[in-house]
Chains A and B, each alone.
Chain A
């Protein structure tokens, strides 16, 4: 087991290293640079700016400097767009907000999704199943950028129950969480419910459940002790990447509800060619993802005794 852990850890470090390296060169291969403007700057001014951010150094030197800063000083560098603070600051001020929103949304989505999935499967092709799956299809097919404005229109503009937007440390406080959480958790809920239903169905017909039934165990015991555990596998596989994605924020939800999370940086800094800020965000995402996928692998053997990594 120790060897397995050590090997996994080294694998994670290597994966992260390759990811950072590839990303470093890919972002610089895209057309356009961080300081291109509709107004063409005089070459001297452009050169001054590039010199300030060391963009005129040879690429390989930039890469080595960047890696050195990350490894020895945990310094992700200066943002090319935002002049007053560095990347560490922007990530430190945005990640906790994303994580709070993501954590609540994903917890809600998982609990609801698994529950609905099980009920749906047990009542397969009967009305509770159809109703639940219809709701799920809506959640899957209606995009965030439609759900968000719809909620805002109904709850804020028409009913005046909630403020349109804002965040919990603003003047409206915790109520600002409600709409972002609903919007963000709905599609995750829908996916988990669909997956959960399918895998419960899969487990219900497997040999060991049949054996359990044959042994005369009650339905409740079967469901909670055997079905639930066995059927969580696909959901858990899905949750690994989903966790990384939701914890690092959603640009759509953040923009609609003015949530100061990290998701916006993935898109905005890409469009601004803000290489350092984008890389900072990608690194955080990659770390969470790699760790989560590792945990998922470990969870497999916990959930399913048939799985082993020996």
Chain B
């Protein structure tokens, strides 16, 4: 496609920038796969309420800490009982179950297979559920919790990152480009904000605004833009004396135009990387804020809270850590490669790649 463009990157054919970018994105296999993964995550989160999954709050203490399985809960529970007895046999150094134990298992099997509870006037067996991701310590379906947790974490990741990056770009670009006194004062402000006791700020936000979602976003964005602004500023400072900026300036372009059209596009790679670096820290920070009373209140969950709940039981109930961590890592993988892919796709100079 490069032959369709001239040296100054002006499209010669009627291809829109978007369509062009889309074509380039498709060529980058990793980015393309990632794109679909992200779309999948977003769709699953959006349609969580109508998906055929169990409630993420419904507890069944008889089903606590069941490992993931395609079998129904009663079969898993019987297996768990057998494992317990096997553990005991190992300690007593025997290889055979006693008749008592066998009877006990049979009785248990009988009981769980025929247990009945009345829900909404209908008699059903609660042990016919299937927990593909296992259950947590209150007997809640991990699959549902991971999906609903994703809903919250993805929203936080996007909204938080967007605000933080926008503020960071604005402050960094203005400080770097204008320079002088303004730069000096803005950067001192950044230094001061770095030095603020974050936990106290959060506690005060909580006291002033209560534990609502806006307060959470405010607390998340409050300091997260600082490093972004310093990085952007560094880029802008180094670019602002480049030839192409000089050229634009000599042609009478306004400061705003130079920043938007020349400086930022040329720093886009770094900005996108920084944005993708921010997402996981937002997702995890939410669980730290809930520790202070600000994040998501139980029984709601987020990936962050599921992961921190799962860590303690990592050896005994690994699935409680594994699934939320996996869900999050895959999402972040996709975001990363998609970010890189987008950067390349929209890069005005990518045709000049060496």
Contact = CB atoms under 8 A, between A and B. Distances in A.
Contact of A199 (B207, B233, B270, B328): B270
Contact of B241 (A145, A241, A306): A306
Contacts of B201: 26
Contacts of B194: 241, 244, 286, 289
Interface in A274-309: 278-279, 282, 285-286, 289-290, 293, 296-297, 300, 304, 306-308
A29 interface: yes
A22 B277 contact: no
Contact of B336 (A133, A278, A304): A133
A53 interface: no
Nearest to B329: A141
Given A19-B196, A125-B30, A31 B203 contact: yes
A22 B238 contact: no
B13 to A, nearest CB: 23
Interface in B178-233: 184, 187-188, 190-192, 194-197, 199-201, 203-204, 207, 226-227, 230-231, 233
Interface in A59-81: none
Contacts of B230: 237-238, 240-241, 293, 296
Contacts of B233: 237
Contacts of B187: 293, 297
Nearest to A308: B241
A46 B227 CA distance: 42
B22 interface: no
B17 interface: no
A233 B266 CA distance: 14
Interface in B35-61: none
B207 A198 contact: no
Nearest to B233: A237
A31 B192 CA distance: 23
A116 to B, nearest CB: 14
Contact of B270 (A138, A195, A210, A266): A195
A29 B207 CA distance: 10
Contacts of B241: 306-308
Contacts of A23: 195-197
Given A26-B204, A138-B329, A236 B234 contact: yes
Interface string B317-354: 00001000100110011001100100100000100111
A197 B315 CA distance: 36
A29 B238 contact: no
Interface stretch (A36-44, A89-97, A146-154): A146-154
Nearest to A286: B195
Main secondary structure of the interface of B (DSSP, over half): helix
Contacts of A27: 197, 200
B95 interface: no
Interface centre among B191, B201, B270 (most CB of A within 10 A): B191
A203 to B, nearest CB: 10
B308 interface: yes
B126 to A, nearest CB: 33
A187 to B, nearest CB: 9
B284 interface: yes
B336 to A, nearest CB: 5
A11 interface: yes
Contacts of A19: 191-192, 195-196
A142 B329 contact: yes
B212 to A, nearest CB: 17
A278 B197 contact: yes
A85 interface: no
A195 B273 CA distance: 7
Nearest to A138: B329
B280 interface: yes
A217 interface: no
Contacts of B329: 137-138, 141-142
Contacts of A125: 28, 30
A140 B200 CA distance: 26
A49 interface: no
A162 to B, nearest CB: 17
Contacts of B243: 207
B181 to A, nearest CB: 11
Nearest to B240: A306
Interface centre among A143, A210, A240, A267 (most CB of B within 10 A): A143
A108 B230 CA distance: 23
Nearest to B207: A31
Interface of A: 11, 14-16, 18-19, 22-23, 26-27, 29-31, 125, 130, 133-134, 137-138, 140-143, 145-146, 149-150, 153, 191, 194-195, 197-199, 201-202, 204-205, 207, 210, 213, 233-234, 236-238, 240-242, 244, 266-267, 270-271, 278-279, 282, 285-286, 289-290, 293, 296-297, 300, 304, 306-308
Given A278-B200, A300-B234, A304-B238, 5 more contacts: A31-B207, A195-B231, A202-B266, A244-B194, A289-B195
5 contacts: A30-B203, A140-B332, A202-B267, A202-B269, A234-B231
Please give me the 4 A-B residue pairs with the lowest Cβ-Cβ distance, nearest first. A286-B195, A19-B195, A270-B199, A237-B234
